[in-house]
Amino acid sequence: MTTSVNRERKRFQVQILNRGGDAVKKSGRQDRIIVALDTQDFSEMKRWVKSLKGLISFFKVGSELFTACGKKAVKYVRDQGAEVFLDLKFHDIPATVEASAKAAAGLGVKMFNVHALGGVQMMRAAKQAVKDISPMPWVLGVTVLTSMGENELSDELKIAMPLERQVIHLAKLAKQSGLDGVVASAREVKHVKKILGGGFKVVTPGIRPAWSASQDQKRIVTPRDAFALGTDYIVIGRPITGAKDVKGAALRVIEEIE
């Protein structure tokens, strides 16, 4: 851990104490916050990453940023000493996904994802693509998007299985395929962990602090509740990046979970 990181966290602890709180007990949760860099503006992305240096060590590069800026966005984050979750949700024929997975791993990302609905053969191809890469990135299966609810699943997609059971079903397929974990709402985390084991990772989007608007997310959970439910990593974007004081918003989230 760098000196700048230590100094920033020390300042954070002093802030908590000055507000009359108890001494901070490090839980390691701060390192499991992934901030979503959802923008098409490379300069804006750099400003966010610089503002959060020393506080946040993990960032999500999604389809919006990657489509607009390409792999230079991943390189910039890595050059700042942070990890990258490449959130491109690959969903194609197995051969194409295998090639895409190899390319993603070549960028030095910590983890990337594929749609579990692509099936076992496709997911196995993604995992096969990275098996000889060191360090090996985690491959996650996307279950059901957190913007979706029961109505979309049953009425639009004609999936008769209740949402929670569909998440568990897709998580089982992901583990059967050799993936390292899944992307799922915190509301399903307990069931995923109970059935598939604590070592099977769950990354949770749709995170909104109590003081933040839900916007287009439906199955939302607060940062504190997500960790209490057993999630391994939380993905949070607009409540932090959309704030006037980006660093202050991040500190507020850290205060909540630590």
Query: Which residues are identified as catalytic?
Result: 89
Residue recorded with tokens 């990772």: 201
Q: Residue 70 gets which letter from DSSP? A: T
User: Which of 64, 34, 70 minimizes the C-alpha distance to 49?
Assistant: 34
Q: Where are the beta strands (DSSP E) in the chain?
A: 33-36, 58-62, 83-90, 111-115, 138-142, 181-183, 201-204, 233-236
Q: Which two tokens stand for residue 223?
A: 């940062």
d(CA 173, CA 169): 6
Q: Where are the alpha helices (DSSP H) in 106-188?
A: 120-130, 150-151, 163-176
- CB-based burial of residue 3 (10 Å sphere; 0-12 exposed, 13-18 middle, 19+ buried)? exposed
Residue recorded with tokens 């059901």: 144
d(CA 217, CA 220): 6
* 89 contacts 100 by C-beta, under 8 angstroms: no
